[in-house]
Amino acid sequence: MSPEARPTIADVARKAGVSKGLVSFALNDKPGVSAQARTRILDAAAELGWTPNLRARSLSTGRSFACGLVIGRSTDVIAADPFFPSLIAGLEDVFSVSGQVLVLSAATPGRHEVETYRGLAADRRVDGLILTDLRAADERIALVGELGLHAVTLGRPDVDSPFSSVSVDDGAGIRCAVEHLAALGHDRIAHVAGPDAMLHARRRTAAFEDAARANGMSSRVVRTDFSAAQGATATRDLLALADAPTAIVYSNDQMAVAGIGVAERLGLRVPGDLSVSGFDDTELGRHLRPALTSVATDARAWGAAAARALLGMLAGDAVAHIELAEPTLVIRESTSVSPHPPTGGLGRH
């Protein structure tokens, strides 16, 4: 784009209906801009395709204008999980127009992860961090505070935290899935869950067990690392039981897709013999045959909200805890009435 054609701060101000000074404050992460005004300005800048002169800003402020995202999972799991590309897209929707560079790292939880955070803090390589996959008594909260960085957590930690958070009640989506299956006559169900160390996996498991109990259903939980491979293994083990479930609620879509493949290789029909529901409502699940019933979340919107919250913290805004809309269940072809009359088989685990 030629210099004459590039949008200016004045163009952004006109589109957002605010002064050039307020636009400058918002785009330079300075205090004095309300959250609503900052969102309106960033949206206007994105629509116009405005981009900042990052080199000049960095020299004048002494900041890196970079934010970090460290994903504490194996690269194989990250590569296969569509949640993270959507989350990153949402972060970039906001960071790209505010002059922030997103620095992405994958690190194995433990010493390697600690070293990764310390490396990002060294020489102010990043100004702030997005913390995902919160764990029980998460040590990263204190670590990031000690490093003097701002942060936003995806979800509320179970320890004291000085950081803003952006949360979704994913347990509500799991409850909807269980209630849907109960209404279809299923009384033997299972949950293929994520690792118990992760708080959101714990919340989904607790929601599943509570909903199953409330609906008088026998239930079983199998924990995995969220990967398709472990989802397939869990499905195979569940279907080998004498009192196998007639429905399985998976904690993400990739495990649900793997589970459908396992069931069909065993000669079972989905949903005739086994009902399956997923989580995240990814595009692939919509095009399966049968199309996947799944809990719909908006990872991209979550990423955008987290990015705005982090920019707010960098601008000096007060700590805020933002609750996004509850997920909803999208009912498709992979769930149907139970193939068996209620028997009260599985037993609760």
* Contact (Cβ atoms closer than 8 angstroms) between residue 264 and residue 205: no
pTM across the whole model = 0.80
Q: How far is CA 5 from CA 48, 288, 349, in A?
A: 11, 45, 64
Residue 343 half-sphere exposure, CB side, CA atoms within 13 Å? 14
- How much is the pLDDT for 98? 82
Distance CA 259, CA 232 (A): 5
The pair of three-digit structure tokens given for residue 94, joined into one six-digit string? 């906001």
DSSP reduced 3-state for 130: strand
Using alpha carbons, select from 250, 116, 322, 299 the residue that is nearest to residue 262.
Answer: 250
Other CB atoms closer than 10 Å to residue 45's CB: what's the count?
26
Q: How far is CA 174 from CA 44, 208, 319, in A?
A: 36, 6, 29
Distance CA 141, CA 162 (A): 8
Q: Are strands 218-223 and 293-296 parallel, antiparallel or unpaired?
A: unpaired
Distance CA 35, CA 73 (A): 32
Burial class (CB in 10 A: 0-12, 13-18, 19+), 55: exposed
Using alpha carbons, select from 164, 162, 149 the residue that is nearest to residue 64.
Answer: 149
Using alpha carbons, select from 65, 71, 128 the residue that is nearest to residue 101.
Answer: 65
- How much is the pLDDT for 178? 98
The pair of three-digit structure tokens given for residue 321, joined into one six-digit string? 């805890």
Other CB atoms closer than 10 Å to residue 137's CB: what's the count?
11
The pair of three-digit structure tokens given for residue 248, joined into one six-digit string? 């399985």
| Rounded (5°) CA angle 272-201-319 | 135
231 CB-near residues (< 8 Å, 6+ apart): 192, 224, 250, 252, 254, 255, 256, 258, 259
DSSP reduced 3-state for 333: coil
**Domains in the chain with CATH codes:** 52-167+299-318 (3.40.50.2300), 170-292 (3.40.50.2300)
In tens digits, the chain (349 residues) has pLDDT values of 444 567 888 888 899 999 888 887 887 767 778 888 888 888 888 888 876 655 545 444 446 689 999 998 877 778 888 899 999 999 999 998 887 889 998 888 888 899 999 999 987 889 999 999 999 999 999 999 999 999 999 999 999 999 999 999 999 999 999 999 999 999 999 999 999 999 999 999 999 999 999 999 999 999 999 999 999 999 999 999 999 999 999 999 999 999 999 999 999 999 999 999 999 999 989 999 999 999 999 999 999 999 999 999 988 899 999 999 999 999 999 999 999 765 544 443 3
270 DSSP 8-state letter: T
End-to-end CA gap in the chain = 62
